[in-house]
Structure 1
Amino acid sequence: MTVRNASTQHAATRRFQALHVPGDPLVLFNAWDPGSARAVADAGAQAIATGSWSVAAANGFDDGEHLPRALAMDNLRRIVAAVPLPVTVDLESGYGDAPGAVAATVVAALDAGAAGCNLEDSFPADGTLRDTADQVARLVAARKAADAAGIALYINARTDVFFQKPAAAHDMAMVDAALQRARAYADAGASGLFVPGVVAESLIARLAAESPLPVNIMVMPGVPDRQRLAELGIARISHGPGPYRGAMQWLTEAARAAMG
C-alpha cells in the first residue's frame, strides 16, 4: 500500500524536478526520521532528503547498506507520511549489484512515496568505483522501473570519483572522469549528477559548466558557501551527515551538562 495516491506522488515528483535550477540551488538539510523531517520542514524547506549515513546511525547500523532495505523503506514511508513535501531517499548503491536488484529497490522506494532517489556508482563494501558500463545498466534498470510505474522519479546519479583520493590530490583529470560518467549516466536516464567529495572551486566550476545534468554538491570542509555555489551554477546542495552529527553532538553535550 502506498502512503500517497498516484496524483499526489505525480505532483511531488514534478515539483521536485522543478526545484533543480542551476544558479538557484535547492538546499537539502538531510533528515533521518519523521521527527527530523518535520523539524526541517518547519524551517521552510522545499523538499526533504534522507542521508544513508544518518538513517543507518539513527537505527544502530553502519553505513554501506548494513541497514536492512525493509527498514529503510519503512522509514521512508513514515517520513513521506509526516511531511507535505517531496521526499528523496538515499538508496546507496541500490541494495544489490545486478540491475534487477536496483530496479526492485526503486520499485520499493516508489511504493513508499519517493519523489527522488540517490544511486551511487561505488561498491558499498570498499568504496571502489564500478565500471561505467555496469553503472549505466543499473541506472537504465532504475529508469525503466520508474517508467513502468508511471512516475517521473528524479534519479540523482552519484559518482564517487572524488572519494577515491584525498582532496589535496584532486585534479582536472578527475573532473574529466566525472564528466565522462555524467554523460553516460544522462544517456541512461539519470536526472541529476551528485558529486560528493569535491571541494575546490575551480573543479566545481568546470563540473557545473560542462555536466549535461544539474549538479549536486555536498557541504563539507573546504566547499564554497551557498552563495558562491549558486554563482558557479550548482543546482542542488546537500548537507549529508552533517545535520545528524550536529544534533548528536548537541545531545551529548546537553546530556553531559545535565549529569555534570
Structure 2
Amino acid sequence: MTDKGTIFRELHKPGDPFLLVNAWDRGSARMMQAMGVKAIATTSAGHAFTQGRVDGGTLTRDEALAHAQDIVSAVAVPVSGDFENGFGEAPDVVAETIRLATEAGLAGCSIEDTALPAFTSYDFDLAVERIRAAASAARALASDFVLVARADGVMLGQYDCAEAIRRIQAFEAAGADCVYVPAPPGVEDLKRIIGSVGVPVNVLMSGAFSTLTMPELAKMGAARLSTGGSLARVAYSAAISVAEGMLKGDFTGLARAAAEDDINHLLTK
C-alpha cells in the first residue's frame, strides 16, 4: 500500500493545483472528505477557536499533535499539519516536531518563519537553518513527508515580497518540498513568487485571492490551494450572525441551518 506521504506528494503539481481544505475538527474533516477533497490540513486558528483561544502560539505542541492525530484517525485521505513555528525557535526543536508529526500519522506539515507569540520574523539565517533541520529530519523518516516552508513576513508586515522571495529560494535550497507566502499584496506579486522557485507553491485562498478561479491559478503555476482558517471563520461568522439576531428577538436565522440528514449523510459516507 502506498504511504500517505507519497500520495500527498503526488498531488503537488505546478500548473495543476489541488484543493487542500483546512479542517478544525473530526466532523469538518469527514465532511470535506465526503465531498471529494483529496487532502486535509489542520488549521492552528480553527483549532485554537475550538479551545476558546486566539491564534498564534497559544497551542502547545502536544495539543497540536493530539488534534492532528484525531483528524488523521477520522479520514482516509492524507493530512498535513499547520504547525506554526514548529513550537520552538531552535532548529533541533523544529526537527523533533517533524519526527513527532510523522508518528501522529501526518503526511506533511508547514513551518513558519515567525517567532510566536510576538509575531516577528526570525532573522534570515536562523529561518533557513530551521528549515534545513526540518528537511534533514523529514528525509530521515521511514515514510515520505512533505515539508512546507512558510515566509509569513509579508502578511505580518515584517518584510517585503523581495525578502519573501529571497527566503523561499533559500528554503528550497535547504530542502523544503513546497513553499508558501501567505497574502502577498497582489496578483503580480503572486506570479513573481510562483515563478521564483522550482518547488511547488501553495496559495492561500483568502482576501482578494478568493476571487481567482482554479484555471487562473493553474495558469500562474500554482500547485496547491489552501483555505487556512477561512472556512472555520465562515462557520463562526454564521453562528455570530444568527446569535446577534436571536439576542434581538429574531430567530429566523436558524432557518438557514443545514438539514441534519444532509450532515449525517456526509459524516457517514
Which residue in the other structure is 1:247 paired with? 235
Q: Is the 8 A contact 2:150 2:168 kept in 1?
A: no
Which residue in the other structure is 2:226 paired with? 238
Relative to the length of structure 2, the TM-score reads 0.85
Do the aligned partners of residues 91 and 256 (structure 1) sit closer, same or farther apart at CA in structure 2, a change above 3 Å counting?
A: same
Which residue in the other structure is 1:170 paired with? none
Q: Secondary structure at the match of 2:121?
A: coil
Aligned residue identity for 1:183: Q
Give, in angstroms, the shift of residue 83 of structure 1. Answer: 0.3
Q: Secondary structure at the match of 2:30?
A: helix
Between the aligned partners of 2:17 and 2:181, the Cα distance in structure 1 is 14
Q: Is the 8 A contact 2:4 2:144 kept in 1?
A: no
Do the aligned partners of residues 106 and 122 (structure 1) sit closer, same or farther apart at CA in structure 2, a change above 3 Å counting?
A: same
Does residue 175 of the first structure (1) align with residue 167 of the second (2)? Answer: no
Between the aligned partners of 1:160 and 1:204, the Cα distance in structure 2 is 14
Counterpart of 1:207 (choices 170, 185, 193) is: 193
Which residue in the other structure is 1:217 paired with? 203
Q: Secondary structure at the match of 2:92?
A: helix
Does residue 154 of the first structure (1) align with residue 154 of the second (2)? Answer: no
Q: Is the 8 A contact 2:138 2:147 kept in 1?
A: no
Which residue in the other structure is 1:94 paired with? 86
Identity of aligned residues (%): 35
Between the aligned partners of 2:24 and 2:235, the Cα distance in structure 1 is 11
Q: Is the 8 A contact 1:199 1:222 kept in 2?
A: no
Larger Rg: 2
Give, in angstroms, the shift of residue 237 of structure 1. Answer: 1.1
Give, in angstroms, the shift of residue 59 of structure 1. Answer: 1.5
Give, in angstroms, the shift of residue 255 of structure 1. Answer: 4.8
Q: CA RMSD in A?
A: 1.9
Do the aligned partners of residues 164 and 64 (structure 1) sit closer, same or farther apart at CA in structure 2, a change above 3 Å counting?
A: closer
Counterpart of 2:213 (choices 207, 226, 231) is: 226
Counterpart of 1:49 (choices 41, 55, 74) is: 41
Which residue in the other structure is 2:255 paired with? none
Which residue in the other structure is 2:6 paired with? 14
Between the aligned partners of 1:137 and 1:19, the Cα distance in structure 2 is 27
Q: Secondary structure at the match of 2:218?
A: helix
Give, in angstroms, the shift of residue 254 of structure 1. Answer: 4.3
Between the aligned partners of 1:54 and 1:257, the Cα distance in structure 2 is 24
Which residue in the other structure is 1:189 paired with? 175
Which stretch of structure 1 is more off in the superposition, 47-56 or 227-236?
Answer: 227-236
Between the aligned partners of 1:196 and 1:49, the Cα distance in structure 2 is 15
Give, in angstroms, the shift of residue 256 of structure 1. Answer: 5.5
Q: Structure 2: state its 5+ residue gaps.
A: 252-269
User: 1:207-249: per-residue Cα shift (whole Å, max 9, x none)?
Assistant: 1112222111112221151332222111111111111011112
User: 1:171-224: per-residue Cα shift (whole Å, max 9, x none)?
Assistant: xx9332222112211121101111101141111111111222211111222115
Give, in angstroms, the shift of residue 74 of structure 1. Answer: 0.9
Which residue in the other structure is 1:84 paired with? 76
User: 1:56-84: per-residue Cα shift (whole Å, max 9, x none)?
Assistant: 11122221121122111111111111100
Does residue 124 of the first structure (1) align with residue 116 of the second (2)? Answer: yes
Between the aligned partners of 1:144 and 1:211, the Cα distance in structure 2 is 20
Aligned length: 246
Aligned residue identity for 2:213: R
Between the aligned partners of 1:79 and 1:124, the Cα distance in structure 2 is 24
Aligned residue identity for 1:157: A
Give, in angstroms, the shift of residue 129 of structure 1. Answer: 1.4
Q: Secondary structure at the match of 1:29?
A: strand
Q: Is the 8 A contact 1:31 1:48 kept in 2?
A: yes
Q: Is the 8 A contact 2:40 2:78 kept in 1?
A: yes
Q: Is the 8 A contact 1:118 1:157 kept in 2?
A: yes
